[in-house]
Amino acid sequence: MSTNPALSEADLARLSSRRQLPPPVPAYLPTGPNSPLTVDKELYSKIQTAPRVLDQSFTLPIRSGKAWTAPAGSIIRISTPEGPQVGDLNIWNQQNPSERFWASRTRQLHSTHLSTHNRLWSCLPYMRPLLTIISDSLSWYGRDNNGGRVHDLLGTRCDPYINHLLSAGQSYDYHCHSNLVRAVKEFGFEEKDVHDVINLFQVTGLDEKGRYCMSACPAEKGDSIEFLAEVDVLMALSTCPGGDLSLWGFGADSEKEMEKCCRPLKVEVFRLEDRGLLEREGWKPAEVAGYKGNHGLADEPKEDEA
Ligand SMILES: [Zn+2]
């Protein structure tokens, strides 16, 4: 019985009837080996371990952002060269800023936190994987004693608007949102193109009341996550001004305080040495979902008449 005094007898009776529910099954389990949600693990392992050539490499300083392109079939590695640090990542179709990572659908299709062989899907009306995770040195983390997991899709980027609201009018220009806004400018993308992120290396969970909680980043020097680009992508990363989140807070001195736990992130883009491997193995860039986009509108032919 609930100990909540605000509940009426009727509420308690309704609550009691809901206690008999059978355990639910995940809503989007793959339906078979050919499901778009099924990743060919053998193939992706072969790609991950194949000899590769470094095409791009840079280290992202603390509290900054940078964007870069990576062609379909390339491997992107993001690592923590000096120890724990969370990174906020955005992804777009390189040619089309309207096609971007869709965090909430990805969360439904896979999980609240991502790891090896999960995919990062694009928004409507496109709906295809932009990236597939091919390795994750934190895949051992699982679920910690607070219910926390790593590589977060529950939350979003820190931003100066909510900070202004919660920190008594304080203006700070190096939140992840702002870092991403500055980063994408050189590619002609704008603030409106910045979207909900995956928080790499970030541990989050929900407490017993469903509230969003964070724990300190578990990464050590040299931890990494690797992605295969499923289409030509533009990516942008921010080194969160909260650093490893061990000192997270709001208020007058919070930015100064958190700088003590800020570290850089490293980005590398590789191509496979054997350029024909992907094609020979049957891999090809992801295609958009086949729905014709009629939506039952009167002047459009119906799906089954088209
Ligand atoms: Zn941030």
Cα(131) to ligand 1 centroid in Å equals 22
* DSSP classification of residue 13: H
Ligand 1 centroid to residue 241 C-alpha, Å: 6
The closest of 204, 90, 217 to 155, measured between CA atoms, is 204
Residue 121 lies inside a defined structural domain of this protein: yes
CB atoms inside a 10 Å sphere around CB 108: 14
Q: Look at residue 247 and tell me if it is in a domain.
A: yes
Residues of the chain above pLDDT 90, percent: 81
Cα(115) to centroid(ligand 1), Å: 20
Indicate if the pLDDT at residue 301 is higher than 90.
Answer: no
Tokens found for residue 66: 């940078």
Rounded distance between C-alpha atoms, residue 81 and residue 223, angstroms:
8
Look at residue 184 and tell me if it is in a domain: yes
Q: Give the distance (Å) from ligand 1 centre to CA of residue 123.
A: 22
**205 Cα to the center of ligand 1, angstroms:** 16
**Ligand 1 geometric centre to CA of 279 (Å):** 38
Cα of 197 to ligand 1 centre, how many Å? 10
pLDDT (0 to 100) of residue 306? 45
CA 286–ligand 1 middle distance (angstroms) = 30
The confidence score (pLDDT) of residue 303 equals 57
Q: Kindly list the protein residues that place their beta carbon closer than 5 angstroms to ligand 1, a single-atom ion.
A: 158, 176, 240
Place of tokens 């409106």: 192
In this predicted structure, the answer to whether residue 253 has a pLDDT above a threshold of 70 is yes
Q: Which two tokens stand for residue 208?
A: 């017993």
63 Cα–ligand 1 center, Å: 8
Compute the distance from residue 159 Cα to the ligand 1 centre, in Å: 7
* Residues 83, 104: Cα–Cα separation, whole Å: 29
β-partners of residue 80 are: 223
Measured in Å, residue 88 CA sits from the centre of ligand 1 at 6
Q: Which helix (H) or strand (E) holds 162?
A: helix 160-166
Place of tokens 């969003």: 212
| Alpha carbon of 186 to ligand 1 centroid (Å) | 21
- Tell me the pLDDT tens digit for each residue of 118-168: 999 999 999 999 999 999 999 999 999 999 999 999 999 999 999 999 887
Region class of 166: left (phi > 0), else alpha (psi between -120 and 50), else beta: alpha
Find the 198 Cα to ligand 1 centroid distance in Å: 11
Report the pLDDT value the prediction gives residue 175, as an integer from 0 to 100: 95
Mean pLDDT of the chain: 93
CA 3 to centroid of ligand 1, rounded, Å:
38
**What is the rounded CA–CA span in Å between residue 199 and residue 206?**
15
Q: How far is the CA of 265 from the centre of ligand 1 (A)?
A: 13
73 C-alpha to ligand 1 centroid (Å): 29
Question: Tens digits of per-residue pLDDT, 263-289?
Answer: 999 999 999 999 999 999 999 999 999
Q: How far is the centre of ligand 1, averaged over its atoms, from the C-alpha of 114 (Å)?
A: 18
Tell me, yes or no, whether 95 lies in a domain: yes
CB atoms within 10 A of CB 214: 19
Q: How far is the CA of 213 from the centre of ligand 1 (A)?
A: 14
pLDDT number for residue 9: 95
Distance 93 CA to ligand 1 centre (A): 23
What's the domain count of the chain? 1
Distance separating alpha carbons of residues 266 and 268, to the nearest angstrom: 7
Residue 265 domain-assigned (yes or no)? yes
Determine the pLDDT at residue 32: 84
pLDDT at 30: 87
> What residue numbers bound the domain in which 128 lies?
53-273
Query: Distance from the CA of 218 to the center of ligand 1, in angstroms?
Result: 16
- pLDDT at 1 exceeding the cut of 50: no
**How does pLDDT run across 161-209, given as a tens digit for each residue?**
999 998 877 889 999 999 999 999 999 999 999 999 999 999 999 999 9
Asked, for residue 165, whether it belongs to a domain, the answer is yes
Is 137 part of any domain?
yes
Distance (angstroms) between ligand 1 centre and the Cα of 107 equals 19
Signed CA dihedral, 81, 84, 86, 92: sign only? positive
Q: Please indicate, yes or no, if residue 31 is contained in any of the structural domains.
A: no
